[in-house]
Structure 1
Amino acid sequence: MKSYTDLIDGYRRFRSGDWREQRERWAQLSDGQSPQVMVISCSDSRVDPAQILDVAPGEIFVVRNVAAMVPPYETTPGNHGVSAAVEFAVQFLKVREIVVMGHGACGGCKAALTRDLHGNDPGEGGFVARWVSMLDEARDRVVDQHGSDGATAELEMELAAVRESLANLRTFPFVSEKERSGELTLHGAHFAIADGILRQLDEDSGTFTPAE
């Protein structure tokens, strides 16, 4: 595993290699960004969307958090980091598409499914439990059909989380308005770490199928 010192060594290689070779591009990026796609993905170290989707700096606007969740629209006092990112991407960057990308072996979705951390204090899993409690209703539906343990239940929980985040995105008035007008399109996807396959959600059928 990499240490901070290893990361700085990597930076030095980047600075003397890719940065120099693409200096003109970096100069352009310093003037601003204009990505067309926002990607909401998990913080998991194994699922870097830039690597999975093979994009260069400046090409996607990314927000990462536990289980790739989008909370529902609300205006209560508090720190609404994901909501701020969605607002910035849609209203200021004018992205044309938003992708919610879940993944296999997701610890956040497993925590939502098993509820192992429920009741824990902040710092002992309580923050995670509170965050993934957004999935409680989806979790109940998964458990009713597939139980609360095993590979099938975990996969279904991961897929349900993608659907839940898409539903929550549509509670943002400026998102739903732009989707209705055709200015914005929402997508769901799931990346399986074990086989490297990205599956896309067909919202009409509710199924995920491999990207061709």
Structure 2
Amino acid sequence: MPDIRPLPQYLVGRYHGWKATSFTENSAWYRRLALDGQRPRGMVISCCDSRVHVTSIFGADSGEFFIHRNIANLVPPYAPDGLQHGTSAAVEYAVQALKVAHLIVVGHTSCGGVAGCHAMCSGRAPELEEKTSFVGRWMDILRPGYDRVKDLPDDQQVAALEREAVLVSIENLMTFPFVKAAVESGQMSLHGLVHDISEGTLLQAVDGGRGWTAV
């Protein structure tokens, strides 16, 4: 495969620095993780955005979170149609195999995916309407959220849609039979958060998603 190239040297240097410090200082813990397998306490579904770093936000150690990232932290509705569903597969594995106690959806401010969905749904991004747009078809998941915010003042819609990206995902999670069963039995809880990148704050959904409060 001639297209595969060696890592850039700055990444090589960072790896060797990690191996010589953090890994060496915690080598017994890493050996235990390798031998015993993973037992994460929770699953986090967050955005691909490079500015959102959930392990840093929560001070999480290796092995603590099962993490899935995608554009705009979306979960599609349950659809056992035989097609490939990366997000649905990750949710299934976390809930049924890993038995996580918490499933946390983390949205964020200044989300490019949400802004693109808003532009698409308001008729200002025809390129995302094309059937060949992977991003556009993925953002179709958020259309119900757009319908709930479209009548707000223009300057409030995108921020409201960032919260809807979390709420729509949680609503869709409850369409998965095994998620619904785990939640209703008390074996697992769902949580919705929005991270403000510039302020470092977290808001959490409360009262069934009808309100938000600071963490």
Please give the residue correspondences for 1:1-212 in structure 2 after superposition, counting only pairs within 5 Å.
4-31=8-35, 32-115=37-120, 116=125, 117-120=127-130, 122=132, 126-147=133-154, 150=155, 152-204=156-208, 206-211=210-215
For 2:138 and 2:209, locate their aligned partners in 1 and report how far apart those are by CA, in whole Å: 28
Cα drift, residue 194 of structure 1: 1.2
**Gaps (5+ residues) in structure 1?**
none
Task: Please list the CA deviations of residues 47-87 of structure 1 after superposition, one character each: whole Å capped at 9, or x if unmatched.
Answer: 01111111011011100000000010011121111111001
Task: Please list the CA deviations of residues 79-134 of structure 1 after superposition, one character each: whole Å capped at 9, or x if unmatched.
Answer: 11111100110001110110000000000111111112433463xxx110110011
Task: Please list the CA deviations of residues 132-152 of structure 1 after superposition, one character each: whole Å capped at 9, or x if unmatched.
Answer: 0111121122111233xx3x2
For 1:86 and 1:19, locate their aligned partners in 2 and report how far apart those are by CA, in whole Å: 29
**TM-score computed with the length of structure 2 as normaliser:** 0.91
For 1:97 and 1:205, locate their aligned partners in 2 and report how far apart those are by CA, in whole Å: 17
Contact in 1 for aligned 2:144/2:168 (Cα 8 Å): no
For 1:22 and 1:55, locate their aligned partners in 2 and report how far apart those are by CA, in whole Å: 14
For 1:48 and 1:201, locate their aligned partners in 2 and report how far apart those are by CA, in whole Å: 20
For 1:101 and 1:81, locate their aligned partners in 2 and report how far apart those are by CA, in whole Å: 18
- Quickly say closer, same or farther: Cα 1:205–1:65, change in 2 above 3 A: closer
For 1:8 and 1:153, locate their aligned partners in 2 and report how far apart those are by CA, in whole Å: 43
- Which stretches of structure 1, 4 residues or more, deviate above 2 A after TM superposition? 117-122
Aligned Cα RMSD in Å? 1.4
Counterpart secondary structure, 1:174? helix
Q: Aligned pairs, how many?
A: 203
Counterpart secondary structure, 2:193? strand
Counterpart secondary structure, 1:17? helix
Q: Which residue identity does 1:143 align to in structure 2? A: K
Counterpart secondary structure, 2:62? coil
For 1:140 and 1:161, locate their aligned partners in 2 and report how far apart those are by CA, in whole Å: 12
**TM-score computed with the length of structure 1 as normaliser:** 0.92
Identify which range, 20-29 or 111-120, moves more after superposition.
Answer: 111-120
